[in-house]
Amino acid sequence: MQTTDKTAKELYFEVKANPARKRFGFGKKAALVNIDIQKAYTRTDLFKTAYENDPKQLDYVNELAAKFRKLGWPVVWTNVAYMDTAADAGIWGTRTDTPDSLQNIKFGSERSELDDRLILDRTTDVFYEKKMPSPFFETPLQSLLVWHQVDTIILTGGSTSGCIRAAGVDSLSRGYRTIIPEECVADKHESYHYANLTDLSLKYCDVREVNEVFTWLNSI
């Protein structure tokens, strides 16, 4: 095992400046999968569970969504919410039981709502409620991607170390080129955020600046 005195952030930018492996690259058609951009995780003024990395994150996500709609490509939004009894949270909901706990994000609660700053299109966008970290787990996402003949997935949302990581691993496992715009994901602590961006970029995904994704979309 290598050891270092560098921070996770320093290591990330070191890897970014000197990539050790080639990129998977963009494919022919993509889906935008926006993971749990809901008030429990975005409204830092309301909830202790919320976090922010780039203050323009939601602006970038809205711009991505607009470009995807213009191309007629899938735009997917997920959120997490549970029954009053939390019986649908499984073992994931057993570690803590406080007002801020995961399983206490209830159906119809403010914590379960997508952020009001998001620009949604209820006529074209796809909305999935999920129970576990990965958006692929027990949702119709895979069927949607197959139907639309997608070969590339753009991931946004949070948290980087949780649901984004799970989505990245599952996406690669299903054969998709997976792109994470670094400004479009966030986590509770910069250490978790950058450590996972580093690991994802080395193994499972292309972590790119959002402007690179815009450039690709504009070229189509």
Domain borders along the chain are: 26-218
Q: Give the C-alpha separation, 156 to 171, whole Å.
A: 13
For 26-218, CATH number? Answer: 3.40.50.850
Given the residues 163, 167, 205, 210, select the one marked as catalytic.
Answer: 163
> pLDDT tens per residue, the chain (220 residues)?
989 999 999 999 999 999 888 999 999 999 999 999 999 999 999 999 999 999 999 999 999 999 999 999 999 999 999 999 999 999 999 999 999 999 999 999 999 999 999 999 999 999 999 999 999 999 999 999 999 999 999 999 999 999 999 999 999 999 999 999 999 999 999 999 999 999 999 999 999 999 999 999 999 9
Contact 6, 120 (CB under 8 A): no
> What predicted TM-score, i.e. pTM, was given to this entire model?
0.97
205 is catalytic: no
**Contact (CB, 8 A) for 161 and 195:** yes
What is the DSSP code string of 116-142?
TTS---TTT-EEEEESSSSTTTTSSHH
